[in-house]
Structure 1
């Protein structure tokens, strides 16, 4: 790995930390494309590269989510009951999803990743606003029914789940935007653990892995990304609570749409330098 790769990963980690604290997401839309580029540029097969990008992304999500959840908890924006139930069922689903991901073609994973993010963005953009008097759903069963399948998707496409769960929280579970962002960071602690375990177990002894890899988790990239993402997450938390919910929602949607189109390859097809 060259110095330019190290610098880019450090900068990406900082961006991931800020996005995690600000938007309640794991930063997959930043990390996965960058990691994939770094890995393929040093000669790693593209199918293995996308799996490592997903597995390492989840490993970075874990400490970043812990940092973000602590910051949002101090702002009283984490609904822990819902977060824990969604997180535990999501953990089980993410383990299943990680197993599935290690047995399907890499091209399928990249397209599925982009389409899932794009679908979430469109749904948030077109959903009717939550009524002011509505209260967050407090049903354990409802949270379980949402958590497990979304955990599976999270494991398949190597994300912490916030980018998918926040639209569900806002649209289906009645959370306001700040509660959704705060609680999302808590549930990502659990879903990332399930995904990490699955990508490690299913990637052991796979030929063609780069050095410092444990299964489909690359420890060198993890250190570089997490080293900047964890502390910067606290800055993102502070910024999130200074933004009105509406502006926070639209910022979240814009980032989702851009990165989904980027990973699918739309900009490349159109020959746009984006």
Structure 2
């Protein structure tokens, strides 16, 4: 009886965490995995690779639903999105194979550095977008989207998250996508195939805790639409400032 109660309590905790991460992931257009990994590694005591692989169980369905929700609200061109997605899948698969073989402590340190490195990248993207405002239409040709997808997939495979985070500043700051929410939707197009490829690779290496990941995924699916709706109501400057603050706090927690 006690075992059943303990198992039920664990499922409830995982489900509630998934609900919270789904809202956060919807707001920032990231699927929630960026914050699931520190929670699983520091809060649940999972090794870095196992935390990343388990987070992917939630990330994959969340980014699929998140992309669909962003597409409902934004004119996302599927041609450029498809080019990004295919290229991201290739590089995500390759770097995920490398990540599962890395020393867990080294991968954890690299993940913390990645979180902190995102802050200046996001600030740069915002400033770059302001200077390029009104300088012509967005440049979403395959010559740009292919390399950007490959770049995104590297982070999706190595850290199982973050591909969309590095592409969004490039889309707004270099490729002239004017709206933050549109850029986040395009980024999810690259993240989704890359996340599927990464999950396949981590699962094949035995680095996925399905018993924890499935209730996380269910909770996230039920709440990510709320986060997407909230993202479209908040000022873009607020979204960026909030996200940078959360990145720094998360990195500090993992340290």
Same fold (TM over 0.5): yes
Worse-superposed segment, 83-92 or 4-13:
4-13
User: How far apart are residue 75 of structure 1 and its match?
Assistant: 0.6
**Higher helix share goes to which structure?**
2
Residue matched to 2:25: 20
User: Is 1:173 paired with 2:178?
Assistant: no
Alignment of 1:129-140 (within 5 A): 129-130=128-129, 131-134=132-135, 135-140=137-142
User: How far apart are residue 241 of structure 1 and its match?
Assistant: 0.8
In the alignment, the residues of structure 1 paired with residue 75 and residue 244 of structure 2 have an alpha-carbon distance, to the nearest angstrom, of 20
In the alignment, the residues of structure 1 paired with residue 112 and residue 79 of structure 2 have an alpha-carbon distance, to the nearest angstrom, of 30
User: How far apart are residue 219 of structure 1 and its match?
Assistant: 1.3
Matching residue within 175, 185, 189 for 1:186:
189
Alignment of 1:44-83 (within 5 A): 49-83=47-81
In the alignment, the residues of structure 1 paired with residue 76 and residue 21 of structure 2 have an alpha-carbon distance, to the nearest angstrom, of 20
Alignment of 1:109-148 (within 5 A): 109-127=107-125, 128-130=127-129, 131-134=132-135, 135-148=137-150
SS of equivalent to 1:25: coil
Change (3 A) 1:14 1:84: same
User: How far apart are residue 119 of structure 1 and its match?
Assistant: 1.1
CA contact (8 A) 1:92 1:148 kept: yes
Structure 2, unaligned runs of 5 or more: 1-5
Residue matched to 2:225: 234
Q: TM-score, normalised by structure 1?
A: 0.82
SS of equivalent to 1:217: coil
In the alignment, the residues of structure 1 paired with residue 71 and residue 63 of structure 2 have an alpha-carbon distance, to the nearest angstrom, of 12
SS of equivalent to 2:18: helix
CA contact (8 A) 1:26 1:160 kept: no
Residue matched to 1:155: 157
In the alignment, the residues of structure 1 paired with residue 43 and residue 9 of structure 2 have an alpha-carbon distance, to the nearest angstrom, of 10
Residue matched to 2:239: 248
Q: TM-score, normalised by structure 2?
A: 0.87
In the alignment, the residues of structure 2 paired with residue 117 and residue 83 of structure 1 have an alpha-carbon distance, to the nearest angstrom, of 25
User: How far apart are residue 38 of structure 1 and its match?
Assistant: 5.5
Matching residue within 201, 218, 222 for 2:213:
222
CA contact (8 A) 1:117 1:164 kept: no
In the alignment, the residues of structure 2 paired with residue 100 and residue 226 of structure 1 have an alpha-carbon distance, to the nearest angstrom, of 25
CA contact (8 A) 2:85 2:149 kept: yes
In the alignment, the residues of structure 1 paired with residue 107 and residue 60 of structure 2 have an alpha-carbon distance, to the nearest angstrom, of 21
Worse-superposed segment, 251-260 or 231-240:
251-260
Residue matched to 1:212: none
In the alignment, the residues of structure 2 paired with residue 95 and residue 148 of structure 1 have an alpha-carbon distance, to the nearest angstrom, of 11
Q: Which portions of structure 1, spanning 4 or more consecutive aligned residues, are displaced by more than 6 angstroms?
A: none
Matching residue within 193, 199, 205 for 1:196:
199
User: How far apart are residue 99 of structure 1 and its match?
Assistant: 0.5
Residue matched to 2:84: 86
In the alignment, the residues of structure 2 paired with residue 121 and residue 197 of structure 1 have an alpha-carbon distance, to the nearest angstrom, of 29
